[in-house]
Amino acid sequence: MKNSRVGLTLIGLFKLAKGITLFIVAVGLLRLLHRDIEATVTHWIEVFRMDPDNRHLHGLLVRIFRVTPKQLRELSAGTFVYSGLYLTEGIGLLKRKHWAEYLTVISTALFIPLECYEIWERRTWPRIGILVLNILTVWYLARGLRRRTS
């Protein structure tokens, strides 16, 4: 039983951290709405002393500079939704709510096929790591739920 509490606490804290991070990102996206995106991004590139001529960074910048205010609002709204989901899961798991375990199993399992597709399209170690972490999370929580219902 003690192992179960540690596992739920770790998963809850992880979901809470993701929720807080996404909330901060969503607020940041909203703050960009009434600013010159190019000037803001250029400022941060200079602050972090990044090479704007780097081909990877250059490709990212091209995509960022094409973002419209409507797309920023939509991206921010979607990020707020995901933040709310992760915060709900995290708080529920930390409070040992049974419904939070079900919610986390369902919401995490729903993304596994998409993650598999992304790995199929472009295999990277971070993507593989996230997939493995999510599979382990679903397995761990589903196992705990099954034990309680048996």
Same domain, yes or no: 41 and 61: yes
Q: pLDDT digits over 69-116, tens only?
A: 899 999 999 999 999 999 999 999 999 999 999 999 999 999 999 999
> How many other C-beta atoms are found inside a 10 Å radius of the C-beta of residue 101?
22
* Average pLDDT taken over every residue of the chain: 90
Q: Do residues 92 and 139 share a domain?
A: no
The answer on 81 and 14 residing in a single domain is: yes
Asked if 104 and 45 sit in the same domain, the reply is: no
Average pLDDT over residues 110-139: 95
Domain, as residue range, for 69? 1-96
Task: Please tell me whether residues 107 and 43 are part of one structural domain.
Answer: no
Same-domain pairing of 55 and 104: no
Same domain membership, residue 26 and residue 87? yes
Residue 88 and residue 30 share a domain: yes
Average pLDDT for 114-122: 95
pLDDT band at 57 (very low <50, low <70, confident <90, very high): confident
pLDDT at 2: 58
> At residue 147, does pLDDT exceed 90?
no
Instruction: Tell me the DSSP string of the chain.
Output: -HHHHHHHHHHHHHHHHHHHHHHHHHHHHHHHTTS-HHHHHHHHHHHTT--TT-HHHHHHHHHHHT--HHHHHHHHHHHHHHHHHHHHHHHHHHTT-HHHHHHHHHHHHHHHHHHHHHHHHS--HHHHHHHHHHHHHHHHHHHHHHHHH-
44, 45, 46, 51 alpha-carbon torsion, rounded to 10°: 170
Residue 92 or residue 2, greater confidence: 92
